[in-house]
Copies of this chain bind each other. A is one copy, B any other.
């Protein structure tokens, strides 16, 4: 295949040249912590997006401390070289691609859990700590960190993209769960935002401005997050439905009744089939909700009874319950493997993931029309959703070198996004804008809000060195 892609589907590459003096200074400061090996650079110049064909960064610095990050950024500032922070590389929207050239700062060695304040339900971590690592670290204190985007992402990356995932319907997103940050600014200065207090009215909410700024306003070097007591009881269930609509209508009713469900995930029949093939789970190949309930034993039982009643009214059947950790893991395997199961179902493919999120009452309208369009296109896809939040993902499976498939997928995505915007939703519930949704964000936010974002960017990063080319065109 290898035919050229239509240019409007390619990221604009505008790599500035990296001065030799800069690279010399970088290597003098960082020695073995700095690599210019092609394989290392290539690994840091891509993510899980379907974007390819972008040259890798000129060098990778493996930061081990805040001082490392600050020194690297100061060198970048002096030489006006772009700098892109890198956690585990699991972002989905081209966030890590060096479209303006420059270097990558890999923070995966900054992986220490600095403080666990169990008595205050907070933890402070370095940005390279992953969510699973954090959960291991706080488990013995009877606590957990609920944000679960699926991948074992870094806390820094999750904060930078305002990630959420399966538990957000009950516990909120990174927006609600990051309390404070330490950040290196575009000038290489180290500042702190927020405190460990649960709430504050102390000036501008710099924490929330930086959360979701995708590395374009500062590089996070410490993140303080909220923790939660492990629920006394946890119960998970799957339930099959005769149609996607029935599953969605069940979800809408659960949310509108205010049932404090902890997870409410949709898989369509085709996706269940992929998961069965991948992990031999033997699930009914029909639209399915995976749910989880947290609380006291009585509370969990009560929630489960309400939900069974609602599901029954919509034709839901075959509730399968899991109360032990092992059984729950088996059920959640289905959800967490969906992405990989789908990718394996079409060898060599990449997924173009959609990420719309709409008010809950609009969920059926938004989803069902998009299913019809996807089916009509003939493109294979998976469909999963954090439907309790009105958020769902199609993953259109394309051959990355087939322009026709990419164009079909992008057209489906385009129609879905504009449908979601017309329904008062957003183009991205949790993946961020990156390279891929720059046009969608413009349509969503309007020129006035985009201009305000640009004004903030210009003010905080006048030389445009922090992850340039992402979120909006300057």
Chain A residues near B (Cβ < 8 Å): 117, 119-122, 161-164, 168, 172-173, 175-176, 185, 189-193, 195-206, 208-209, 211-213, 217, 228-229, 231, 252, 255-258, 295-296, 298-299, 302, 355, 357-362, 389-391, 421, 424-433, 437, 441, 444-446, 448-450, 452-453, 455-456, 458-460, 471-472
Contact = CB atoms under 8 A, between A and B. Distances in A.
Nearest to A229: B258
| Residue with the highest number of chain B CB atoms closer than 10 Å, among A176, A206, A298, A362 | A206
Nearest to A217: B204
| Copies of the protein in its oligomer | 2
Contacts of A357: 197-200
Contacts of A472: 203
B360 A119 contact: yes
B471 A204 contact: yes
A255 B121 CA distance: 9
Contacts of A432: 201
A446 B191 CA distance: 8
The 5 closest A-B pairs by CB, nearest first: A459-B459, A208-B208, A191-B448, A229-B258, A119-B361
Contacts of A431: 201
Nearest to A359: B120
A175 B444 contact: no
Nearest to A455: B459
Nearest to A362: B120
Contact of A199 (B117, B164, B455, B456): B164
20 contacts: A121-B255, A162-B205, A175-B199, A185-B452, A191-B449, A195-B421, A195-B424, A195-B426, A196-B425, A197-B359, A197-B391, A197-B426, A198-B359, A199-B429, A200-B357, A201-B426, A201-B430, A228-B258, A231-B258, A298-B302
A458 B195 CA distance: 24
A300 to B, nearest CB: 11
A465 B433 CA distance: 33
B199 A453 contact: no
Contacts of A217: 204
A452 B257 contact: no
| Residue with the highest number of chain B CB atoms closer than 10 Å, among A161, A192, A217 | A192
B360 A120 contact: yes
A187 to B, nearest CB: 10
A122 B452 contact: no
Contacts of A449: 191-193, 203, 206
A433 to B, nearest CB: 6
B198 A390 contact: yes
Given A176-B172, A452-B206, A429 B258 contact: no
A211 B205 contact: yes
A302 B301 CA distance: 13
A202 B421 CA distance: 12
B204 A456 contact: yes
A453 B194 CA distance: 13
Contact of A117 (B121, B361, B390): B361
Nearest to A440: B202
A119 B426 contact: no
Contact of A390 (B162, B168, B197, B444): B197
Contacts of A213: 204
A359 B191 contact: no
